């Protein structure tokens, strides 16, 4: 292999008009070697190959115009192919897909701005579903935003009373109540978003009373924007991979199915030994250690809430309370009900009867 200087000299001499034979003689190398290093020059000097004409070429402008008119929405290739076939296109779908793939603009993802809150300020909550059907299994997950300490409780339903009980257990686990809690669009939390204006939502009445009792403000994350409560969302994936999948697979080998009692017994040990003592990837500190500091900023836990769940489910309240009968029905029932009198009245009647009379009562 020639040095870079010799390669450059070959190319320079060739550009000056010297023949391959003369370059070979002057540099004391074979003619094939000279040809080898001059081949790169001749390759770049070749005329470009003429592009083949395709069946889609007459319809490229139509497709571009349709995509431009639909922006920012996107038209699928099936729709565009069907339209140009009506105009006379005789090609296939793959050519259309290949063409519009080059037209699609890949928008860069918005930069992730991590939002941090002070200690004791925020807690993020979420449901994570593991199993539906006849034997459902879900988990209530709560994560303190500052310390990243998490609490998990497995349940078999996601009703309001279950949600509130999980909150109370989380407060006891953390040793206090945060000043605000972030949720997604849980039906047991919010009934209607922006009901009274932008950012003014209509919350579930019983849940709102519960929040007022414990002294926290409920907040809602942006719709279809899971990253708004990314701290608990990230823990959800960690819970599934590190806890649920290994435990469920271990029980499945033994012919057993993970239930609520077993899951809660195991998850408490997993939280204490694995999840909360680990070095967190963002804070680079163990969540359990930061929890000791955050407890100083949490609100004290008040007496247990004894609110009325009937405000949350009016249909149950109506079902449990006796329905008053109309006045006409009550009057009819009173007429059909036999009148009962004290026995003394019957004794006086017998005394007043003459001998030989029959008295039918």
Strands 150-155 and 180-183: what pairing?
unpaired
pLDDT of 320 strictly over 70? no
3-state helix, strand, coil in the chain (%, to 5): 50, 10, 40
Mean pLDDT over residues 105-129, rounded?
Answer: 74
Least reliable range by pLDDT among 52-61, 65-74, 230-239, 252-261: 65-74
Q: Can you give the pLDDT at residue 327?
A: 45
pTM of the full predicted structure? 0.58
Q: Can you give the pLDDT at residue 185?
A: 83
Q: Which residue's entry shows tokens 């034997």?
A: 135
pLDDT of 338 strictly over 50? no
Class of residue 83 by CB neighbours under 10 A (exposed 0-12, middle 13-18, buried 19+): middle
Q: Can you give the pLDDT at residue 47?
A: 58
Please state the domain extents for the chain. Answer: 4-44, 57-103, 122-313
Mean pLDDT over residues 315-339, rounded?
Answer: 41
pLDDT of 311 strictly over 60? no
Cβ count within 10 A of residue 295: 16
pLDDT in tens, 6-47: 788 888 888 888 888 888 888 888 888 888 888 865 555 555
The third-level CATH classification (topology) of the domain covering 122-313 is Nucleotidyltransferase; domain 5 (3.30.420)
Q: Can you give the pLDDT at residue 82?
A: 86
Strands 217-220 and 180-183: what pairing?
parallel
Q: Can you give the pLDDT at residue 221?
A: 82
Q: Can you give the pLDDT at residue 319?
A: 39
Q: Can you give the pLDDT at residue 331?
A: 45
Query: Can you tell me the distance from the alpha carbon of 64 to that of 69, in angstroms, rounded to the nearest whole number?
Result: 9
Could you tell me the pLDDT band of residue 346, with boundaries at 50, 70 and 90? very low
Quick check: 240 and 345 in contact, CB under 8 A?
A: no
Cβ count within 10 A of residue 101: 9
């Amino acid at each position: 292999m020639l040095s870079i200087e010799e390669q450059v000299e070959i190319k320079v001499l060739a550009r000056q008009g010297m023949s391959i034979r003369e370059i070979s003689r002057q540099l004391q190398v074979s003619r094939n070697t000279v040809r080898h290093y001059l081949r790169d020059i001749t390759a770049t000097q070749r005329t470009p190959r003429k592009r083949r004409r395709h069946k889609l070429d007459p319809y490229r402008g139509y497709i571009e115009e349709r995509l431009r008119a639909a922006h920012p929405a996107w038209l699928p290739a099936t729709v565009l192919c069907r339209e140009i076939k009506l105009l006379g296109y005789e090609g296939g779908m793959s050519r259309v897909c290949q063409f519009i793939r080059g037209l699609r603009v890949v928008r860069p993802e918005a930069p992730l701005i991590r939002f941090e809150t002070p200690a004791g300020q925020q807690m993020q909550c979420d449901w994570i579903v593991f199993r539906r059907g006849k034997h459902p299994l879900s988990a209530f997950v709560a994560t303190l935003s500052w310390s990243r300490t998490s609490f998990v409780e497995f349940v078999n339903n996601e009703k309001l009373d279950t949600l509130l009980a999980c909150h109370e257990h989380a407060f006891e686990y953390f040793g206090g109540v945060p000043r605000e809690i972030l949720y997604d669009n849980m039906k047991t939390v919010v009934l209607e978003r922006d009901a009274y204006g932008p950012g003014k939502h209509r919350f579930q009445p019983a849940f709102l009373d519960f929040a007022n009792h414990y002294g926290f403000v409920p907040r809602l994350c942006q719709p279809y924007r899971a990253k708004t409560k990314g701290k608990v969302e990230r823990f959800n994936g960690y819970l599934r991979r590190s806890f649920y999948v290994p435990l469920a697979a271990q029980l499945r080998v033994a012919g057993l199915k993970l239930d609520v009692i077993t899951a809660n017994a195991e998850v408490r040990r997993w939280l204490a030994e694995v999840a909360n003592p680990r070095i967190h990837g963002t804070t680079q500190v163990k969540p359990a250690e930061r929890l000791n500091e955050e407890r100083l900023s949490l609100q004290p836990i008040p007496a247990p809430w004894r609110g009325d769940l009937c405000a949350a489910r009016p249909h149950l309240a109506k079902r449990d309370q006796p329905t008053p009968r109309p006045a006409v029905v009550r009057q009819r029932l009173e007429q059909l009900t036999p009148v009962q009198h004290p026995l003394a009245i019957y004794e006086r009647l017998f005394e007043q009867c003459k001998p030989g009379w029959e008295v039918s009562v």
